[in-house]
Amino acid sequence: MQLTPPLKLQQVAGFIQAEFSGDPGHIISGINEIHRVVKGDITFVDHPKYYRKALESAASTIIINKKMPSPNGKALIFSDDPFKDFVFLIKKFRPFEQSSSMISPTAIIGQGTRVQPGTFIGNHVTIGRNCLIHSNVSIYDHCEIGDNVIIHSGAIIGADAFYFKRRPEFHDKLESCGKVVIGDHVEIGANTTIDKGVSGSTIIGDGTKLDNLIQIGHDTIVGKNCLFAAQVGVAGCVNIEDDVILWGQVGVQKDLTIGKGAVVLGQSGVIKSLEGNKTYFGLPAIDATEKMREIALLKRLPDVFENL
């Protein structure tokens, strides 16, 4: 999420009443969790296992629970609970905005777009030209939809990220301040859900087609001209390149990449990154030819034991 206007380090540290290391005039231009940070962003880290990743990331400012010198070109804010303070900043700069109508007066809807009865369009949503939004679709605040998009009944665009910190007695919610960005000529099936980014964007590329009953997790980026069949589930922070096909009931683990032109056959489980222009099958998903050979060999096991 971009901060408009940008803020100074001293101001942000003051909001959470924390000490800091760095130039008080150091500029903070955005809020982002670690997977999608860019220069100018503030992020957080609260576990030694991830200190190095955060400190060496593109983020310019890090909220951290250990005092240390700030790395060159970066600033640190010292906090007993970085997660809590990061959520505080999200709520401060992107508070929940109550809607008062089915289609917000702040929504911008392009010429030729048709919206069927019963659809909810939230605050600050933009929808392009010549789209068709069927009944009972929910489009949450700040989402962006391109031209010539079809969204079928029951789809939910922009629900909160499934992101929680486990406390001793409860699961603490990381509030979402991101959005969903849908390209041109995309089709989204009935009852499909696309979660907003935690603080950035979940992106569906131009020409991609999603079947019914699909779940796309937060901060996932889906490329152009992909095809996902029914009941595909994609976790958060996944990078799916152009022309990828995921057939029915494929499950994709978080924080990995599926290369351009890859095909994953039905009911497979993707638990690590896959190269492009290959066909995969199984759990874990491996080269489909290799998997079929493995299945054929397994069928011969009874004969092997019989001849021992």
Domains of the chain are: 2-93 (3.40.1390.10), 108-292 (2.160.10.10)
Flag whether the pTM goes above 0.85: yes
Q: How many other C-beta atoms are found inside a 10 Å radius of the C-beta of residue 132?
A: 15
Give the pair of three-digit tokens for residue 5. Answer: 């206007």
Compute the distance between CA of residue 55 and CA of residue 77 in angstroms, rounded to an integer.
12
Query: What percentage of residues in the chain have a pLDDT greater than 90?
Result: 94
Over range 205-226, report the average pLDDT: 98
Residue 308 pLDDT:
67
Q: How confident is the model at residue 301 (pLDDT cuts 50, 70, 90)?
A: confident
**Chain segment 266-282, per-residue pLDDT in tens:** 999 999 999 999 999 99
Q: Catalytic residue positions? A: 218
Task: Give residue-wise pLDDT tens across range 118-158.
Answer: 999 999 999 999 999 999 999 999 999 999 999 999 999 99
Give the CA angle between residues 42, 8, 89 to the nearest 5°.
45
Residue whose C-alpha is closest to residue 210's, from 193, 187, 191: 187
Burial of 182 (0-12, 13-18, 19+ CB in 10 A): buried
> In this structure, what token pair is assigned to residue 43?
């992020």
pLDDT for the residue numbered 208: 98
Question: At a CB cut-off of 8 Å and minimum separation 6, what does 289 contact?
Answer: 279
At residue 143, the pLDDT reads: 98
At 297, the pLDDT band (50, 70, 90 cuts) reads confident
> Hey, which residues does 138 pair with through a beta bridge?
120, 156
Closest C-alpha to 7, from 37, 39, 29: 29
298 falls in which pLDDT band (50, 70, 90)? confident
In this structure, what is the dihedral angle of CA atoms 105, 130, 194, 242, given to the nearest 10 degrees?
Answer: -140
In contact, 163 and 176? CB cutoff 8 Å = yes
Pull the structure tokens for residue 124.
């600050």
Lowest mean pLDDT among 44-48, 95-99, 192-196, 297-301: 297-301
